[in-house]
Amino acid sequence: MNTTASEAVDLLNTLKQLLKNVEEVDVAVCPPFPYLSLISKILEGSRILLGAQNMHHEAKGAYTGEVSPAMLKDVGCDFVILGHSERRHIFGETDETIHQKIQSALEFGLRPILCIGETLDDREADRTATVVTRQLKGCLNGFSRQDMERITLAYEPVWAIGTGRTATPEQAEEVHRLTRVWIERQFDREAADTIRIQYGGSVKPGNARQLLEQPDIDGALVGGASLDAESFAAIVQAAIA
């Protein structure tokens, strides 16, 4: 919940310039709902894709204050972030709710970015694997091998979001590896090899390369650093490197 309209425009125009020659990696931005249509127009002709930060699972109806997948598709969104830890822990979203949203996103041609991750209490009690596995089961139950080709996973340890703390590359890799093994067991080796698993948790230019060098970390779900075009572009360059 950041930026004014003019700040969003300035941010994206600068980002477009900084990334105009980038072809090696995929880049998407997920601005607040009020600016999606505005940013969609700014991104025309660029390789930067558009996503939203959340959505309701119904296509339309009497859900005052909510935004539907049909609306997101209509303004040019490719992606939608679902199950972000703040949606879970502040707004009480459950794995069942998130499952409904993923299903709806896929039906409307959106590519979900499913967030998973444990709290500090979970990690200190050695429950990380249990929590992450439960979230994967609850959110992905019943989806097909073909569905998985359109889903991106994002591991975001709750204790490393907005705190300045970051999981070490080894800690992050351990959970990414666990996640990939789970995908292989539920689907097949090809699904596990091809699915993108991003890391999200205070990713910055200074730690991006160490994180992205890990064999099972395929990208970054960037938080605060995405509000500064130079910092975000530096993370993209780290991914390329």
CATH number at residue 117: 3.20.20.70
Region 176-188 average pLDDT: 97
d(CA 39, CA 203): 23
Catalytic positions, written as ranges: 84, 156
pTM above 0.85, yes or no: yes
Confidence of residue 161 (pLDDT cuts 50, 70, 90): confident
Read out DSSP for 99-132? HHHHHHHHHTT-EEEEEE---HHHHHTT-HHHHH
**Contact partners, residue 17, CB within 8 Å, separation at least 6:** none
Region 184-212 average pLDDT: 96
Question: Tell me: the pLDDT tens digits for 202-213?
Answer: 899 999 999 999
State the sign of the Cα–Cα–Cα–Cα dihedral 227, 228, 229, 231: negative
Confidence of residue 159 (pLDDT cuts 50, 70, 90): confident
Total number of domains in the chain: 1
**Contact partners, residue 172, CB within 8 Å, separation at least 6:** 155, 157, 199, 201, 211, 214, 217
pLDDT at 164 over 90: no
The share of the chain scoring above pLDDT 90, in percent, equals: 94
Q: Domain span at residue 228?
A: 5-240
The share of the chain scoring above pLDDT 70, in percent, equals: 100
Region 116-130 average pLDDT: 93
Contact, 83 vs 139, CB < 8 A? yes
pLDDT at 165 over 80: no
Helix (H) or strand (E) holding 79: strand 79-82
Region 76-101 average pLDDT: 97
Query: Would you state the pLDDT for residue 63?
Result: 98
Name the token pair of 172.
């992050």
In the predicted model, what is the mean pLDDT of the chain?
96
pLDDT at 92 over 90: yes
**Contact partners, residue 168, CB within 8 Å, separation at least 6:** none
Name the token pair of 72.
């997101």
Contact, 188 vs 146, CB < 8 A? no
